[in-house]
Amino acid sequence: MRTEQELYKDRTVGLLVNFQLLELSLKMYIGSSYSYINSLVEDHIYFDFSTKDVESFPLERLLNLFGKLNNNDELKKRLNKLTKNRNYLAHEALLVTIGSDPNMDTLHTKAKEFYELESELMDCLKVLLDETHKLKVKGESSRLNLGISNE
């Protein structure tokens, strides 16, 4: 049977993976935004931003950029709220699991918080993917209206 310590560690690692997925999704959204902007302005001004420009950006910087490219204020608020939790997960959460005598109170408290965090994170990811889909539809529609091929 798995110990509480092992279950906590697994949930922590799972949440970290989901935050990586969030960062990747933000990069995809920003890259799609850049592509859309480029298709709109390419005959007027030089615009050479792409996904590559944000590949190494941390979550906070990605959220700042996303905030400038998206008007879903509720999603932006929810995503920004997640950063505190992400930083705790990345820098402190696994410290509880080190050693043979973990702080069980912290383990129990955080395990409950992580359950709620996982739900919020997954819901935010879904909304972000919906926003990305809407952006891509706008971009494709704009390209068609401008007579630009997707090839």
- Reported as a pLDDT band with limits 50, 70 and 90, residue 147 is low
Q: State the average pLDDT over residues 6-15.
A: 89
In angstroms, the Cα distances linking 27 to 1, 22, 61, 128, 148 are 39, 9, 11, 11, 24
Give dist(CA 72, CA 135) in Å, integer: 12
Q: Is the pLDDT of residue 145 over 70?
A: no
Q: Is the pLDDT of residue 148 over 60?
A: no
Per cent of the chain over pLDDT 70 is: 89
Closest CA to 84 of 4, 133, 19: 19
Q: Is the pLDDT of residue 150 over 60?
A: no
pTM: 0.87
pLDDT digit string, tens, across residues 87-114 = 989 888 888 777 666 677 777 788 889 9
Q: State the average pLDDT over residues 36-50.
A: 93
Q: State the average pLDDT over residues 7-20.
A: 92
pLDDT digit string, tens, across residues 46-83 = 999 999 999 999 999 999 999 999 999 999 999 999 99
Q: Is the pLDDT of residue 151 over 60?
A: no
Residues 98-113 as b or e (16 or more Cβ within 10 Å = b): eeeebeeeebeebeee
